[in-house]
Amino acid sequence: MISSRLYQEALIKGDTRLIGDIYENCFPTVRKFVLKNNGTDEDAEDIFQKSLLQIAVRYKKEKFEIRNDFEGYLFTVCKNLWRRELNKSKKRVTNETLLNLYSEEQDNALALMEQKRFELFNEKLSLISENCRKILSLYFAKMSYAKIVEAAGYNSETVARQRVFKCKKSLTDLIRGDKRYISLKEL
């Protein structure tokens, strides 16, 4: 497996062999996701290109480190950009012609901000206890408190609610305590 840093460097340098590997290994998954979520092949190609460009530009500017595998990171960027694209298409106003309410630059900046928030969230999530990660993953998956009680072996829904609250507070405190929080906070 090739390291994330090598892939990032390949994007900057235009290494066609490694970029070809990225396409071969990652594009089919992205294509499948976009097609499954009301997109076309063309949409998938556009999102994939935008994601690679976003990663390259950010790496060139910040030399950030991808903590997990590159393929997973790229898929997350693509998924976030596609969801943003779907949401953006809901916010278009028509008056005989289609008017875009966001500029491409603004949209790219918002997508990058969203990705940085996601990274901060995941980084801090990895710092809380294993039990809290499990409880919050169930909670974020919109599992009912009754099912959380069953899955975690708690005595009651009250205990589950208290545990979710404490875990969310721990995670929130870690995020808010990070120096990046202020710059990533929504206005």
What integer pLDDT is reported at residue 107 of this predicted model? 66
* CA gap 150, 48 in Å, rounded: 40
Domain of residue 23, residue span: 1-94
For residue 125, tell me if it sits in a domain: no
What integer pLDDT is reported at residue 65 of this predicted model? 78
| Mean of all residue pLDDT scores within the chain | 82
What integer pLDDT is reported at residue 1 of this predicted model? 56
pLDDT, tens only, 61-103: 877 777 778 888 888 889 988 988 888 776 544 444 554 555 5
pLDDT, tens only, 20-30: 888 898 899 99
For residue 83, tell me if it sits in a domain: yes
Cα-based torsion angle of the residue sequence 120, 142, 82, 45 in order, rounded to the nearest 10 degrees:
100
Domains in the chain, number: 1
For residue 48, tell me if it sits in a domain: yes
Residue 64 three-state SS: coil
pLDDT, tens only, 154-177: 898 888 889 989 998 998 888 888
